[in-house]
Structure 1
Amino acid sequence: MADHQLNGAHYGPSIPPTRPQRRRHNAGCGFCSCILGCFRSCCGCMFNCILSLICRIIATIIILVAIFGFLFWLIVRPNALKFTVMEASLTQFNFTNNNTLHYDLSVNLTIRNPNRRVSVYYNDIETLSFYKDFRFGSQTLGKFFQPHKNTSLLNPVFKGQQVIPLSSSQISEFNKETNNGVYGINLKVLLNVRFALGLIKTGNLKQNHHCDLKVPFKSHNGTSSLGNGFQATRCEWDSKWWLLFR
């Protein structure tokens, strides 16, 4: 009986299985948890933290600039300067045999500042006259100050002679314009200005405006080739010259 007890199967108490240990993860991605993670995973986490911080700074700057720009526009409501040629006339415009153009062109140009709070300092104004894309005259006008809601009048005069190598087709167009008594002339206005809002002033800014004119020839007795005379022409703003800092 003793042998039977020794050879029989023995069933002891069951041993519970061991539970695998779980790693605890901190919820969120706060700054402190990010720093602690950096020490655990070394360089990788530190790079992510620095990149995240830089992105937050850039996003904050963009938001602040957008808010400031919107508030500035809401308060100031800036408008572009308006250029208009009110009058233009030619008393001489003829070619000699050696392709020399003799010209006498006078222009009345108005500059309108429509802004309610922004004034303008004109540091440099240059007017250029073109015929068939050839420049034949230029004049630099004096500097002046223009307050808000103001219109200023400029009177550039172009007189002299200039060699212009016209092609045969351009000569034919010139002869046609001479018969009609009206010439297509392009006027460009180059500006170097500063804008002022109270005590705040911008740096020097460049603008370029161009005016496509149909200028009648006026005889010495004052009669114009056009029955109604010159038609006032609004100048266009060349945006690619806008906000170019010197």
Structure 2
Amino acid sequence: MAEVHKKIYPVDPEAPPTVRLVPQGSARSEKGDPGKHYPPVNWTYPVVHSTPPKKRSCCCRCLCWTISILIILVIIIAALVGLFFLIFRPKIPSYSVDGLRITELNFNSSTSFSAKFIVRLTIKNPNKKIGIYYENGSNLSAWYSSSKLCEGSLPVFYQGHHNTTVLNIELTGHIDDGNTLRQALSQQQQTGTIPLTLNAKVPVKVKLGKLKLPKVTPHANCSMVVDSLSMNNYIRIRTSNCKLKVKILFINI
């Protein structure tokens, strides 16, 4: 009988041992049933989940709520303001100086000066649904450069809707040291252009329908140029420009 020679392969002593896996539940080994084919083994590996997101802190939630509330308040205020302008359509009253008469202008000595002006002031309320109450505490003053010549006040009255009111306001003044002022006015008289300024501070209350708002104090400034300053003569106003400034909630209008 022929001798069968088997080829022997060298074995690596450091190589890991070869292990053949047999499916669980198989009673027969591969040696006992070499022709048996087993299905592939499905291995289940543990799933490693990512770290869950951290919950928002209490401070972050409070900040988000605060910002949301502020945005809502701004939207509500803007809607109310828009509704107010849509219903009442407010317009700023206009002021103009239409006449000036001097009843007294005396330089009694080199150190004394007195004056009395009559100013014709026209006030127009262009609003159809807004009335204006002119309150106590008003002040109207006439200035030449940095020298106050005279001053007075407006009467207390109510100006209705779409109304025009003409006032003749008397201003009086006295300056102890009038020498410098007299020299300046004498030189300015020769040019025929004398700049004057009227400053007004008028406390008012605005009436919206039946609602009366709190008191505010507008400041009016009228810059004008007259041809002369002489008593009992017609004084022509060459130019006049009046501006009104109202300060409400730290906003100048």
**TM-score, structure 2 normalization:** 0.73
Looking at structure 2, the residues matched to 166 and 64 of structure 1 have their Cα atoms a distance apart, in angstroms, of 61
In the alignment, which of 101, 122, 134 is matched to residue 122 of structure 1? 134
Q: Displacement of 1:17 after TM fit?
A: 2.8
In the alignment, which of 150, 166, 189 is matched to residue 200 of structure 2? 189
In the alignment, which of 36, 42, 47 is matched to residue 19 of structure 1? 47
* SS in structure 1 at match of 2:132: strand
Which residue of structure 2 lines up, in the alignment, with residue 198 of structure 1?
209
State the one-letter code of the partner of 1:58. Answer: L
**1:169-215 deviation line (CA, Å, top 9, x unaligned):** x6653222233455322111111111111122211101000112223
Looking at structure 2, the residues matched to 217 and 91 of structure 1 have their Cα atoms a distance apart, in angstroms, of 10
Q: In angstroms, what is the RMSD of aligned CA positions? A: 2.7
State the one-letter code of the partner of 1:150. Answer: N
Looking at structure 2, the residues matched to 160 and 49 of structure 1 have their Cα atoms a distance apart, in angstroms, of 65
Go from structure 1 to structure 2 and tell me whether the alpha carbon gap of 1:197 and 1:152 turns closer, same or farther (over 3 Å shift). same
Which residue of structure 1 lines up, in the alignment, with residue 150 of structure 2?
137
**1:43-99 deviation line (CA, Å, top 9, x unaligned):** x52111111111111000101111111121122111111000110122443535433
State the one-letter code of the partner of 1:113. Answer: N
Alignment coverage as a number of residue pairs: 213
Which residue of structure 2 lines up, in the alignment, with residue 156 of structure 1?
169
* SS in structure 2 at match of 1:72: helix
Which residue of structure 2 lines up, in the alignment, with residue 67 of structure 1?
79
State the one-letter code of the partner of 1:17. Answer: Y
In the alignment, which of 105, 110, 116 is matched to residue 122 of structure 2? 110
Structure with the greater alpha carbon radius of gyration? 2
In the alignment, which of 64, 67, 70 is matched to residue 55 of structure 1? 67
Looking at structure 2, the residues matched to 151 and 99 of structure 1 have their Cα atoms a distance apart, in angstroms, of 42
**TM-score, structure 1 normalization:** 0.75
**1:210-245 deviation line (CA, Å, top 9, x unaligned):** 11222333444x4x4x6xx334734112x3x52279
Looking at structure 2, the residues matched to 232 and 127 of structure 1 have their Cα atoms a distance apart, in angstroms, of 19
Note the residue ranges of structure 2 that are not aligned, 5 or more in a row. Answer: 1-16, 23-40
Q: How many percent of aligned residue pairs carry the same amino acid?
A: 21
Go from structure 1 to structure 2 and tell me whether the alpha carbon gap of 1:24 and 1:161 turns closer, same or farther (over 3 Å shift). closer
Which residue of structure 2 lines up, in the alignment, with residue 243 of structure 1?
248
State the one-letter code of the partner of 1:235. Answer: C
